Structure 1
Amino acid sequence: MLALIGGTGAGQPANLQITNRLVVRTPYGDPSGALTFGEVAGRPVVFIARHGYGHTIPPHLINYRANIWALTQQHVTHIVAIASVGGIRADMSPGTLVVPDQILDYTWGRKQTMFEVGEHPVTHVDFTEPYNAELRAAMLDAAQQTQVKLVDGGTYACTQGPRLETAAEIRRIQNDGGDMVGMTGMPEAVLAREAGVPYATLAVVSNWAAGVNTSQKRIVMEDASEIVRQSLSGGVYEILSQLVKQGQS
């Protein structure tokens, strides 16, 4: 069964035919909300809203461990995380869809592991390639099948939030090799790796990052949210439906 994690602007998928919801308790506390079960293209899918169903949980307070644990207890085979990002690279203008292949982590104070001190031996997971290659390839193939333009590759820079970045911070991220910037990619990706579940991100570029577009004086979140809404209905859901049809469930 495929698991979907929805981010800012990506609430319950419009193509999800709901069958039931489940409240899950975890050893790490409460997840962001109940798990929503349903079908996409006739196949089972489970969904969770990363920020809560009322979008009330800021990025730095999301219980990433509880969310990933709750999904893995449903024996999911893959996790696709939908995330809105600011574009830094020239080909990542608002409305672009991207499947990133690398991560830069600028967050702090977030619980980064399922393996707490004293409960498990020290555990190191290989994170050379943070996103699952096979799942990324499947998403790219699904995009090709549905004729939805999808950028292959790019480095997702994860910042702490909830404030947006300064222009100077974006310049630093760009110098570090970051191509897009978001606030929720970590530790979600590494927790999925610890859980042994293939994980990949489908990023929606909602706006230019601070200072990238010199004609943009400030970032208007209402405009960014509208870009995400249009991108979801104009390509994301098509890719996800095709992905499920191809057997990623």
Structure 2
Amino acid sequence: MAVRVAIIGGTGVYDPSILSHIREEVLETPFGRSRVKTGTYQGVEVAFMARHGEDHSVPPHLVNYRANIWGLRLIGVKSILATAAVGSLNPEMKPKQFVFVDQFLDFTKTRSQTFMEKGVVHLDMTDPYCPELRLILSRAAGDLGLEYHARGNYVCTEGPRFETPAEIRMFRQLGGDLVGMTSVPEVVLAREAGMCYATIAMVTNFAAGISPTRLSHQEVVDVMAENAANLRRLVMRAIELLDPDRSCLCHESPLDPSAVK
């Protein structure tokens, strides 16, 4: 059975406990190795990848995004549900709420952004996050009575430090709603590879200068843990609603294997 659906677990999401018959595999890619666990959920083959490693040992700026996405491509994945812990710049997007982001602003600095090392391809990013997956997530959240926002603008920073209050003020002026450290280049690479990609952003805190307290990584982990059950329910319901063999415009990959080093 082909593996068409993948979950990329971010901070606080390291365990594919919703799956059964789990097996682990190391995938060799042109960009290095990636590690994936696959199993089944209600008869659907699902891959699970811990973005930061199962012990959260890989910081956001050192994640091998290219190996991870290429590895999922190798096993046939066509739809990715990626979880992310985010800070909020928008008073309406409160801690423990979910946001199914539709746009991003990229403030990363050192990351490899493409698979293509030869030739020139200009990738359309009008809808970087798959509109169909976002609708499925909204429907799933509605079915479960979860608080969510159907759209939002994700500001991706380099990390691993948190942002300064001055940076947060700038991001708000530019139209940012959320701030995180992992969505780019992951979403870009998924589109290059012909995959549908959606981010399940869970607000863990208000960002620096908005929050009344100093920020800490432990705060992020604690809030993710408190809302872990809701996140699992949301992912499970979305998989139930998702046709793993559906077609989508996202699958029209511009990737030419000869352009890969």
For 2:11, the aligned partner's letter is T
CA distance in 2, matches of 1:208, 1:198: 29
Within 2, Cα distance between the matches of 1:60 and 1:121?
A: 26
**1:75 positional shift:** 0.7
What's the CA shift for 1:247? 2.8
CA distance in 2, matches of 1:143, 1:87: 19
- Aligned residue type for 1:121: G
Show the counterpart of 1:139.
137
Correspondence for 1:13 = 16
Contact 2:78 2:194 in 1 (8 A): no
* Amino acid aligned to 1:211: G
Amino acid at match of 2:64: N
- Aligned partner of 1:221 in structure 2 is 217
5+ residue gaps, structure 1? none
Match of 1:83 in 2: 84
The correspondence for 2:151, drawn from 150, 153, 159, is 153
Asked whether the equivalents of residues 28 and 66 of structure 1 are also in contact (C-alpha less than 8 Å), the reply is yes
Contact 1:139 / 1:239 at 8 angstroms: preserved in 2?
Answer: yes
Aligned to 1:3: 6
Equivalent of residue 26 in structure 2, options 18, 23, 26: 23
- 3-state SS of 1:189 partner: helix
**Residues of 2 paired with 1:3 and 1:18: CA distance?**
15
Query: 1:55-99 CA deviation, whole Å, 9 max, x = no partner?
Result: 111111111000000001111120011000001101122111110
> TM-score, with normalisation over the residues of structure 2?
0.89
Contact 2:88–2:206 (CA<8 Å) still a contact in 1? yes
What is the identity, as a one-letter code, of the residue corresponding to 1:49? A
Contact 2:136 2:242 in 1 (8 A): no
Of residues 109, 120, 123, the one that matches 2:121 is 123
Matched, 1:108 2:109: yes
Picking from 234, 237, 249, the partner of 1:239 is 234
User: What do residues 100-157 of structure 1 show as CA deviations (whole Å, max 9, x unaligned)?
Assistant: 11000000121000001xxx32111101111011111111111112222221111000
Q: 1:110 touches 1:187 (CA, 8 Å); kept in 2?
A: yes
Structure 1 residue matching 2:28: 3-state secondary structure: coil
Gaps of 5+ in 2: 245-261
Equivalent residue for 1:93? Answer: 94
Task: State how many pairs are aligned.
Answer: 241
Residue 180 and residue 80 in structure 1: after superposition, are their counterparts in 2 closer, same or farther (change >3 A)? same
Rounded to whole Å, the distance in 2 between the matches of 1:64 and 1:18 is: 26
Secondary structure of 1:187's partner? Answer: helix
Letter in 2 for 1:68: I
Between the aligned partners of 2:152 and 2:57, the Cα distance in structure 1 is 29
Describe the SS at the equivalent of 1:25: strand
> For residues 104 and 243 of structure 2, what CA distance do their matches in structure 1 show?
23
Q: CA RMSD in A?
A: 1.2
- Contact 1:86 1:209 (C-alpha < 8 Å) held by counterparts: yes
TM-score normalised by L of structure 1: 0.93
> For 2:47 and 2:220, how far apart are their aligned partners in 1?
26
Runs of 4+ in structure 1 off by over 3 angstroms are none
Paired residues for 1:165-204 under 5 Å: 165-204=163-202
